[in-house]
Amino acid sequence: MKPKKRRKRKIKRIRLLILVIFMVIFALVMGKMKAKKKKDFAPEEQDFAQNYQEDISTENLVIEEEEKPEIHDWRLTLVNHENVLPDDFEISLTSIDKIRKFDSRAIGELKQMMNQMKKDGITNVWVQSAYRSVEKQEDVFERRIKDYMAQGKTHEEAEMLVLQTINKPGTSEHNLGLAVDFNYVDYDFDKTAGFKWLKENAGNYGFVLRYAKEKEKITKVDYEPWHWRYVGTEHAKQMNELGMCLEEYVEYLKKQS
């Protein structure tokens, strides 16, 4: 090989080497810059990640809420201003006496409770009102509205007035066949020995005071010392221990499951 050609080749190699070195330096600088950039934005990215995570968890919560299982226990059927008795609700009734009827599955415990009360010397407590059909309640409701309208009220005014004293048909626990009113609708019932006995013992037979004074804001029903609801012994005992009304207890059970 001629010396001139060899020199040319050497120069070519040096040029190539310089190019490679330059490219390596360029790659390193770029890499560093990229790393710096990443660091600069890291907190924001973190925020975004956190928000995103929060979004996901909120979404999950909503899904959980939707998928929350319903309580499938006939004894805990909630009937109130928000929960109308389902149209397909099937009921099997057994007579308490000539007039009054109660749910066939729970009447045994009602009778046991009444018998025990008598044995304990309380003989002045009776079931005044138990099951009421929705149809019958509708009749009463409409009749009362007509009465008010005859006095010059509009239909709307009349309905408002009627609702102050009786439930809209299908929203009364008496439609369920699982509630009883003892004696007369009288606030002084809570001063009687019978009421005291019920407070102490009704839970053993699956009954709870449904509309307690301290729960008025939740039940949306004024205190009713005479109205007792069957929920079954284990639920009654738990409700009493937890100090919960039925609305609270059903929510509590949903969260547990």
Q: Which of residues 181-210 bind Zn ion (CB under 5 A)?
A: 181
Residue sitting closest to Zn ion (CB): 227
Cα separation, 103 vs 206, whole angstroms:
13
248 an active-site residue?
Answer: no
Contacts of 213 (CB under 8 A, 6+ apart): 223
Closer CB to Zn ion, 40 or 138, in the complex: 138
The yes or no reply on residue 229 touching Zn ion (CB under 5 A) is: no
- Number of chain positions touching Zn ion (CB under 5 A): 2
Residue 102 found at the interface with Zn ion (CB under 5 A)? no
Look at residues 79, 99, 127 and name the one whose alpha carbon lies nearest to residue 226.
Answer: 127
Q: Which residues pair with 134 in a beta bridge?
A: none
- State the burial class of residue 235 (Cβ atoms within 10 Å of its Cβ: 0-12, 13-18, 19+): buried
Applying CB under 5 A, which part among 23-31, 36-44, 88-96, 180-188 lies near Zn ion?
A: 180-188
Return the number of the residue (205 or 228) whose C-beta is nearest Zn ion: 228
Among 215, 227, 229, 235, binds Zn ion (CB under 5 A): 227
Smallest gap, in angstroms, from Cβ of residue 137 to Zn ion?
A: 12
Beta strands in 117-160 (DSSP E): 127-129
Give the active site residue among 44, 70, 224, 234.
224
- Among candidates 227, 121, 213, which has minimal Cα distance to 180? 227
DSSP 187: G
Query: What is the separation of C-alpha 35 from the centre of its chain, rounded to a whole number of angstroms?
Result: 51
Q: Given the rule CB under 5 A, which of 71-79, 106-114, 141-149, 176-184 is the region that contacts Zn ion?
A: 176-184
Residue numbers annotated as active site: 224
Residues that bind Zn ion (CB under 5 A): 181, 227
